[in-house]
């Protein structure tokens, strides 16, 4: 596998080694040993899968510490615009976001550490999104940021006025009003006491 660094520290693109021939293809979507060799030592405890139609926008979601989740995102069918926002206070990229097209064709994955808000929009007729988490879902720790926050000015790859968005996601606070308890220090997250 190939690990590609992005302009936001700790946010990584993973490109698996794909073996293709006339029968189709094969690749290891996750191999713990390969990840550890790259210095990525996460223990995933929960797998999530969602199916959505064109124009669905989900996010921005995160869990407060100590329930933050590292997520490994990939697309099994279709194409999405995947978004990760750095919400680690004192980070040199605090409030910055990265948008990346993930699809069944490019087979890329995005490794999102704790301290990031996450969301995606569906760009194909349907999309099946699969992701691994290193911490269990905790409804009491769940938080969000409104998808159309003017400070973030995220490009979701579609017209958000026409997007299909849950009432819950429409009710999230602005970035400047959102509860966040992540701190960035010396290239890592410093959890609150």
Instruction: Assess whether pLDDT exceeds 50 at residue 97.
Output: yes
By mean pLDDT, which of 37-41, 73-77, 82-86, 118-122 is the weakest? Answer: 37-41
User: pLDDT category, 186, cuts 50, 70, 90?
Assistant: low
Give the closest residue to 56 by CA, choosing from 138, 139, 170: 170
Catalytic residue among 35, 42, 62, 131: 131
Residue 151 DSSP SS3: coil
**pLDDT over 70 at 96, yes or no:** yes
Q: Which fold has domain 2-190?
A: Jelly Rolls (2.60.120)
Write out the H or E segment, with its range, that includes residue 36: helix 32-37
Cα gap 123→133, rounded to integer Å? 24
**Which band of pLDDT confidence, cut at 50, 70 and 90, is reported for residue 137?**
very high
pLDDT reported for residue 9 = 80
pTM recorded for the entire structure: 0.92
Mean pLDDT for the chain? 93
Establish whether 184 is a catalytic residue.
Answer: no
- Res 191: pLDDT: 41
d(CA 106, CA 89): 33
Domain spans of the chain, in order of start: 2-190
The mean pLDDT value for 111-139 works out to 97
Give the mean pLDDT of 89-96.
94
Rounded CA separation 53/165 (Å): 11
The pLDDT assigned to 187 comes to: 52
118 annotated active-site: no
In the set 61, 118, 137, 183, the catalytic residue is: 61
H/E element, 193: none
- Residues 129-158: what's their mean pLDDT? 97
pLDDT per residue over 30-43, tens digit each? Answer: 999 999 998 899 99
Give me the mean pLDDT over the 150-166 stretch.
97
Provide the pLDDT for residue 193: 29
Reported as a single tens digit per residue, the pLDDT across 4-14 is 999 998 899 99
Burial class (CB in 10 A: 0-12, 13-18, 19+), 14: buried
**pLDDT above 90: residue 159:** yes
Q: Considering only CA atoms, which of 22, 189, 171 is closest in space to residue 93?
A: 189
What would the mean pLDDT of 19-39 be, rounded to a whole number? 91
């Amino acid at each position: 596998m190939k690990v590609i660094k992005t302009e936001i520290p700790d946010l990584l693109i993973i490109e698996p080694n794909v073996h293709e021939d006339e029968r189709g293809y094969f690749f290891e979507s996750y191999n713990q040993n390969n990840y550890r060799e790259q210095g990525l030592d996460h223990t995933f405890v929960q797998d999530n899968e969602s199916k959505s139609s064109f124009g669905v926008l989900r996010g921005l979601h995160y869990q407060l510490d100590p329930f933050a989740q590292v997520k490994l995102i990939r697309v099994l069918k279709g194409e999405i615009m995947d978004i990760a926002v750095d919400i680690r206070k004192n980070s040199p990229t605090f409030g910055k976001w990265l948008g990346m097209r993930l699809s069944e064709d490019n087979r890329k994955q995005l490794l999102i550490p704790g301290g990031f808000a996450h969301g995606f929009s569906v760009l194909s007729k349907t999309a099946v999104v699969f992701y691994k988490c290193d911490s269990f879902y905790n409804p009491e720790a769940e938080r969000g940021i409104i998808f159309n926050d003017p400070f973030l000015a995220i490009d979701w790859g579609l017209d958000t006025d026409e997007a299909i968005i849950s009432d819950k996601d429409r009710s999230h606070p602005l970035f400047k009003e959102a509860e966040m308890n992540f701190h960035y220090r010396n290239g890592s997250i410093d959890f609150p006491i």
